[in-house]
């Protein structure tokens, strides 16, 4: 497999595709997006085969790649939804309020950066909970982690975000 044998890799893809697509679909909440990201993850994994150490199963390795890619897609999709399409914030007299737009965009960027700075396990859970509005149970299924662990990671991640002084001023 590490030599890049396409037939051996095809067999691995066939064996793991159902679980990878399920994981991506659970994170993204959409079967079509889940299939797209899963396909991209398998392509990325194939390109990264030389770096595969083999110290875990191929399924776990491709699962980690797919999970990161699905979360990235979900975060990007949320960012596009949050970006104003035009001058939608208005001052009290009905005119557009460009200052309000700038402040809103700066705040959302600060929050994204703060979430991105969290440890990976906390970042993933916080992103799925708030960017994707996933329940604790759905996050547990998507990550293969017990619900209690998901709650703990969410709590620790949110506490860490609250402790960041630059975010306190955004309230």
> d(Cα 153, Cα 151) in Å, to the nearest integer?
6
> d(Cα 125, Cα 152) in Å, to the nearest integer?
10
> d(Cα 103, Cα 146) in Å, to the nearest integer?
38
Q: What's phi and psi for 89, nearest 5 deg?
A: -85, 130
**For residue 86, is pLDDT > 50?**
no
> d(Cα 161, Cα 128) in Å, to the nearest integer?
15
Q: Select the more confidently predicted residue: 131 or 85.
A: 131
CATH class in words for 1-82: mainly alpha
For the residues 82-93, what does the mean pLDDT come to?
50
Report residue 101 as tokens: 């737009």
Question: pLDDT digits over 13-28, tens only?
Answer: 899 999 999 888 888 8
CATH 1.10.10.10 positions along the chain are: 92-171
Q: What is the pLDDT of residue 170?
A: 47
Using pLDDT thresholds of 50, 70 and 90, give the confidence band for residue 94. low
CATH 1.10.1740.10 positions along the chain are: 1-82
- Torsion angle in degrees (nearest 10) through CA of 29, 135, 120, 67: -20
Q: What is the pLDDT of residue 141?
A: 82
**For residue 72, is pLDDT > 60?**
yes
**For residue 78, is pLDDT > 80?**
no
**For residue 106, is pLDDT > 80?**
no
**For residue 71, is pLDDT > 80?**
yes
**For residue 90, is pLDDT > 50?**
no
3 state SS of 96: strand
> d(Cα 50, Cα 29) in Å, to the nearest integer?
32
Q: Provide the CATH number for the domain formed by 92-171 in this structure.
A: 1.10.10.10
Using pLDDT thresholds of 50, 70 and 90, give the confidence band for residue 147. very high
> d(Cα 23, Cα 66) in Å, to the nearest integer?
8
């Amino acid at each position: 497999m590490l030599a890049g044998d396409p037939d051996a890799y095809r067999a691995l893809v066939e064996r793991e595709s159902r679980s990878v697509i399920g994981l991506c679909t659970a994170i993204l909440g959409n079967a079509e997006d889940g299939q797209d990201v899963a396909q991209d993850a398998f392509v990325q994994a194939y390109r990264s085969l030389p770096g595969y150490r083999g110290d875990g199963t191929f399924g776990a390795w491709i699962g980690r790649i797919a999970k990161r890619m699905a979360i990235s897609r979900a975060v990007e999709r949320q960012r596009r939804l949050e970006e104003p399409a035009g001058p939608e914030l208005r001052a009290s007299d009905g005119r557009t309020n460009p200052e309000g737009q700038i402040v809103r965009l700066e705040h959302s960027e600060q929050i994204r950066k703060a979430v991105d700075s969290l440890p990976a396990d906390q970042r993933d859970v916080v992103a799925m909970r708030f960017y994707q509005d996933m329940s604790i149970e759905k996050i547990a299924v998507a990550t293969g982690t017990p619900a209690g662990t998901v709650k703990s990671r969410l709590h620790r991640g949110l506490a860490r975000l609250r402790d960041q002084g630059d975010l306190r001023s955004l309230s």
